[in-house]
Structure 1
Amino acid sequence: MLTLTDVVVSGILFVTAFYLWSIRRSTENNPNGLHFPPGPPTLPVIGNLLDVGDDAPWLDYSTLSAKYGDIMHFKIMNLHVVVLSSMEIIADLFEKRGAIYSDRYQSTMLTELMDMKTAVDLTNNDDRLRRYRTIFQQHYSPAALRKYDDVQFEITRILLKRLKSSPGRFYDHTRFFFASLIMTITYGVHIEDESNEYLIQAEEWQYGFNQAAQPGRFWVDYLPFLKYVPAWLPGAQFQRLAAGWRQNMYNARDLPYNFAKASMEEGSAQPSVVTSILDTLGNTHIEEKQDLEIRWALATAFGAGVDTNSPTLHVFFYAMLTHPEFQKRAQAELDRVVGSSRLPTLEDRPNLPYIEAVLKEVLRWEPVTPFALPHTTTSNDEYRGYYIPKGAVVLGNAWHILHDPVEYPCPEQFRPHRFLNDDGTMNKDILDPSVVAFGIGRRICPGRFLSSNSLFISMSSILHTFNIVPALDADGKPIKAEFRLKPGMIW
C-alpha cells in the first residue's frame, strides 16, 4: 500500500518530469530559437508564480510593464502567459491576427469540472459564433431595445424607491436593479425581491465562474491530472467547489429559459429576447444542440451584464461621494435640461454631455473588467521578433490602457471634464473607455448597448433624485468612504 510519503515523492517527480518535458516541447516548436517577449526571470518548476499577486494582478502587470514593455511573457508552471499593455499591440494581435488569437482560454476547472466546455466552444467556433452574434446583435441593438424602454423606466423607478427606503443598502439595491432589468428583458421573468431562485442560482454560478475563469487560479489548471482526485480527499476542495458551482450553473442556464419557453407554449409569455430569438428561428421546438447553445449564450450574457454593470454603479457612487463638485455640476445640467417635473429618459441623452462624461470617467477610473477576457493562441506566432507559443494565454491589461498618462493626464484623478471640449461638447479625440471596457479586440460585447443605456439611465435618475452624501457615525460626523473592488475575472 502506498504511503503518504510515496504519494508526495511521486507527485514531485511527476511535476519535475512534466516541467522538463514542457521545456523540451517549447524548444522543438521554436526552431528559429526566437526569444519570448521580455519578462521577469523564472524560477525552476514554478516559473513566475511569485511575481504577480492574487489581489490586484493588473496593478502588478502594470508596474512590471514599466520595466519590460507593453508586451511581456510570464511562465507559470507549464502555462505561458503573454500580457499586452497597449492598444496598438492589442489591435495587431487580437484584430489583425484574430485567426490565431481569438480562442478563449479553456481552464480544466472551468471547462471540465464545471462542465462549461459547450459555452467555451461556442466562443471558439468562428462560424457558430458569427451566427449567434448576428442573432444577439439583432435583439440587443439600439433599435431592438427601444421596445423595452417602458420596462427600463419602471425598474429604474423601483431602484429609486428602494434607495429612498434604505439608502445604506445601495449595494444590494443596485445589484438587484441590474439583475431584475436583464432578467426581465432577456427572459420575461419579473423578479420581486432578492429571494428569487433564478437570481440566487445566477449569483452563485457567476461567482464561481469569476473564480474559475482566472488563468491558473486553481492548481488543477496547471496539473490537469488532479481532475481525477476524489472530492473527499483532503486538499481537494476545488472538486467540491466545482460540483456546487456546476449545479448552480445548470440551474441559472436552464430555469429562466425553460420558464420563457413554457410561457410561449402557453401563450402567456412577455416580450423578451428569448421570445424574439425563438420567433426568429421559427418555433420553440428547435434542434437540441442549437437550443443548448442559445441557453449558454443567454446565461453568460445575463451573468456578465449583472457582474459588470452593478460594480460600475458602485464606482459611480464612490466617485460622486468623494467629488461633490462634479456631482453638483451634473445635477445642474439635469435641472437645466430635464427640469423638476419628470425623470430623465434616454431621449435626453444627447442633451446631457456632462452626464455622458461622468459615465465615461467612471468606466475609465476604476474599470470593473481590468483584464479583457483571456485569449488563447491556436498556433505558434512571431511578433516583433518574439516567439509566442501555441496555447499561450494572452491578456489585454485594460486597467493599464485606461491609466495611460499620455492618453489621460493625471489618470489617478477622477476628471469627467477630460472628455469635454471647452464649449461643453464631447471631445471625440480622446480614447472612449467603453471601447476598452466592453471588450478589447474584434469580439466586442453584444450587450454593450443595453449596458450603456442602463448605466446612463440609472446614473442620471439617481443624480436627479438624490444627493449622494456620506453616512454619519453615532456622533453625527461623516464616515470616510472606502472603496475596494473584489478579486475575480469580472471585478
Structure 2
Amino acid sequence: MPPGPPTRPIVGNEHLIPKSNAHFIFTEWAKKYGGIYTLKRFTNTTFVISDPHMLKELLDRKSSLYSHRPDSYVGRLITQGDHLLLMQYGDEWRRIRKLIHQYFMEPMCEKQHIHLQNAEATQLMYDFLVTPQDHMEHPKRYSNSITNSLVFGIRTKTIRDRYLTRLFSLLNEWSEILEFGATPPVDSFPLLKLVPEILLGRWKSRAIGVGELMTGLYTEVLGQVRRRRESGLNRGSFMDRVLDQNEKNPLTPSQLQFLGGVLMEGGSDTSSSLILAMVRAMIEFPDVQKKAQEEIDAAIGEGRSPTWEDFPQLPYINMMIKESHRWRPVSPLGVSHAVAEDDWVGGYHIPKGSTVVLNVWGMHHNEQRWEKPEDFMPDRFSTHPKLASQYTSDGPPATILATARAVASEKRAETIKREFLEATKVFANYD
C-alpha cells in the first residue's frame, strides 16, 4: 500500500487529523508522501488522492469501482440513506441522477432557466447597491432564489426568508458533524453505540437533531408545493414534474423530500460560495477586476447589462470563473468514495472497502503545477477559454477541468450560465 504518516496503536493516524480544515494538513502530507498516501483511522484504511491523473483514472476509467460511498452510521441517522451524497451506487442512485439531469441540462436551461437567472442577477446588483452592509448575505439569497424557483417554484425574496436562514444554519451543522473526528468511530467499533453518549459528546443526539432539522425543512418546502398543486397551480418546477411522474416512476416520501433538498443544498451553497470567493479575489487582486471591467466595457459598453449571449465575447470572465473554482474550491476534500473491489492505482494495492478521499485543495494548490497557487491569476487558463466540459486533455491548466467531483457543477448548463451572469453583472456595475 502507499506510504503515509506514522501510526499509533489502535487509533492509527486519527490523532493527527484536525476536526476542521483537514485539507491543509492533507496537502502538507501530499508534499511529503506523494500523490497517493495512506491514512489509518482505527480499523479503516483511507487513501488520499492528490494527483489529478490518478483522480481522472478513478472517476473516469474506473467509475464503477469508485462511485460507492463509505458506510456511515451517523449519515444514516441523519438522512435515512436517502441523501444523494451518501447514497450507495446502484439502481436507485442512477434513477435519481437521471431525473436531475433531464431537467438541468442544456435544452431545458436554454428554454426556461436563463430568464430567471438574468432577473435574479439584476436583483443581486440592486441588493448590493441598496444594502451593501449585507454583502455576505446577498449571494446566498441570489443562489437560493434561483435554486428554489427551479426546484420548487418558490422564490426567495429577501435575506430574511425562513427557508433561506434555516437552510444555511442546517448546512453549517451538517458540515460540522460530518467533519473528520467530529463523532466517535462507531463504524470501526460498533460497540461504541452502546456507550452512554453523554460520555462521547452527545454525538447521537446531535446527529438526530441535524436529521430532524433537515427532514423538517425539506418536508415543509415539499408540502408547500403539494398544497399549491392541490389548489390547481402547477408551476412546472422540477418537483412539479417529479410529482407528475410519480405514479409511473414512484419515489418514497423520504426520497421525494431528499431529492428536492439535495438540489436546494447544492445549488444554494455552491454558487454563493463562488460569488464570495470572487469578491474576495477582487479585493485582494484589484488588477484582475480592472481587466474584467475593461473586457466587459469593450465588448458590451454602458448601454445594457451583460447576458448569456455575450459569453463568446468575454473569455476573461470565463477564465475568472475557472480560477475561482481552483483558488477556493467549494468542497476542498470532495465527497469520500468507497472501493467496490480490490484495485491497483499507481502501482499500489487498494483493498476492497477502503475509503478514498479526493484532496481537491491539494491538486489546486500544488506549486509544481500552478505558479504561485495562492495568487488569483485567471490568465492560467488563457489557452483554455472554452467551457470546462469541452476539454478532455489533462495538462496542467486542465487539471481544474478534470477535478470531476469538485467542479462537476460546472458541466451542468444551468450552473455554467448562473456563474457567468454572477460574474459579469458584478464587474459591469461595480468598482
What is the aligned partner in structure 2 of residue 466 from structure 1? 430
Instruction: Find the aligned partners of 2:222 and 2:228 in 1 and give their Cα distance.
Output: 10
Bigger shift: 69-78 or 450-459? Answer: 450-459
2:284 maps to 1:334: no
Letter in 1 for 2:281: A
Indicate the SS of the match to 1:171.
coil
Indicate the SS of the match to 1:73.
strand
What is the aligned partner in structure 2 of residue 292 from structure 1? 254
Instruction: Find the aligned partners of 1:64 and 1:50 in 2 and give their Cα distance.
Output: 15
Match among 31, 41, 62 for residue 66 of structure 1: 31
Instruction: Find the aligned partners of 1:426 and 1:253 in 2 and give their Cα distance.
Output: 33
Instruction: Find the aligned partners of 2:204 and 2:426 in 1 and give their Cα distance.
Output: 43
Cα pair 1:58 1:400 within 8 Å, conserved: yes
1:95 shift after superposition:
3.0
Within-5 A mapping of 1:157-168? 157-168=122-133
Structure 1 unaligned runs (5+)?
1-35, 468-491
1:219-254 superposed Cα distances (whole Å, 9 cap, x missing partner): 1444433334556x3544222322321111112322
What is the aligned partner in structure 1 of residue 306 from structure 2? 344
Distance verdict in 2 for CA 1:52–1:335, change over 3 Å: same
What is the aligned partner in structure 1 of residue 16 from structure 2? 51
1:74 shift after superposition:
0.6
Match among 192, 210, 216 for residue 157 of structure 2: 192
What is the aligned partner in structure 2 of residue 479 from structure 1? none
1:116-167 superposed Cα distances (whole Å, 9 cap, x missing partner): 3132598423222222222211100122123022221222222111111121
Indicate the SS of the match to 2:137.
helix
Distance verdict in 2 for CA 1:351–1:432, change over 3 Å: farther
Match among 169, 176, 179 for residue 211 of structure 1: 176
Instruction: Find the aligned partners of 2:63 and 2:405 in 1 and give their Cα distance.
Output: 17
Letter in 1 for 2:415: S
Match among 111, 117, 128 for residue 152 of structure 1: 117
Give TM-score, length-normalised by structure 2.
0.89
What is the aligned partner in structure 1 of residue 192 from structure 2? 226
Indicate the SS of the match to 2:8.
coil
Match among 378, 382, 394 for residue 356 of structure 2: 394
What is the aligned partner in structure 2 of residue 33 from structure 1? none
1:292-331 superposed Cα distances (whole Å, 9 cap, x missing partner): 3243222112212222221221110111111111111111
1:81 shift after superposition:
1.0
Instruction: Find the aligned partners of 1:426 and 1:74 in 2 and give their Cα distance.
Output: 36
2:268 maps to 1:306: yes
Letter in 1 for 2:98: T
2:357 maps to 1:357: no
The alignment yields a C-alpha RMSD, in angstroms, of 2.7
Letter in 1 for 2:138: H
What is the aligned partner in structure 2 of residue 243 from structure 1? 208
1:115 shift after superposition:
3.5
- State the identity as a percent: 24
1:101 shift after superposition:
1.8
Cα pair 1:110 1:212 within 8 Å, conserved: no
Instruction: Find the aligned partners of 1:323 and 1:127 in 2 and give their Cα distance.
Output: 47
Instruction: Find the aligned partners of 1:85 and 1:402 in 2 and give their Cα distance.
Output: 9
Cα pair 1:109 1:220 within 8 Å, conserved: no
What is the aligned partner in structure 1 of residue 92 from structure 2? 128
1:435 shift after superposition:
3.8
Q: How many residues align?
A: 423
2:398 maps to 1:431: yes
Instruction: Find the aligned partners of 1:456 and 1:125 in 2 and give their Cα distance.
Output: 32
Distance verdict in 2 for CA 1:447–1:70, change over 3 Å: closer
Cα pair 1:108 1:220 within 8 Å, conserved: no
1:20-45 superposed Cα distances (whole Å, 9 cap, x missing partner): xxxxxxxxxxxxxxxx2111111111
Distance verdict in 2 for CA 1:434–1:163, change over 3 Å: farther
1:462 shift after superposition:
1.0
Relative CO higher for 1 or 2, CA cutoff 8 Å, sep ≥ 6? 2
Instruction: Find the aligned partners of 2:84 and 2:280 in 1 and give their Cα distance.
Output: 35
Bigger shift: 195-204 or 70-79? Answer: 195-204
2:338 maps to 1:376: yes
Within-5 A mapping of 1:176-191? 176-191=141-156
Structure 2 unaligned runs (5+)?
none
1:385 shift after superposition:
4.6
What is the aligned partner in structure 1 of residue 83 from structure 2? 119
Indicate the SS of the match to 1:344.
coil
Indicate the SS of the match to 2:102.
helix
Distance verdict in 2 for CA 1:157–1:405, change over 3 Å: same
What is the aligned partner in structure 1 of residue 56 from structure 2? 91
Match among 322, 336, 339 for residue 284 of structure 2: 322
Indicate the SS of the match to 2:45.
strand
Distance verdict in 2 for CA 1:417–1:170, change over 3 Å: same
Letter in 2 for 1:142: E
Match among 435, 452, 456 for residue 416 of structure 2: 452
Distance verdict in 2 for CA 1:128–1:169, change over 3 Å: same
Letter in 1 for 2:108: A
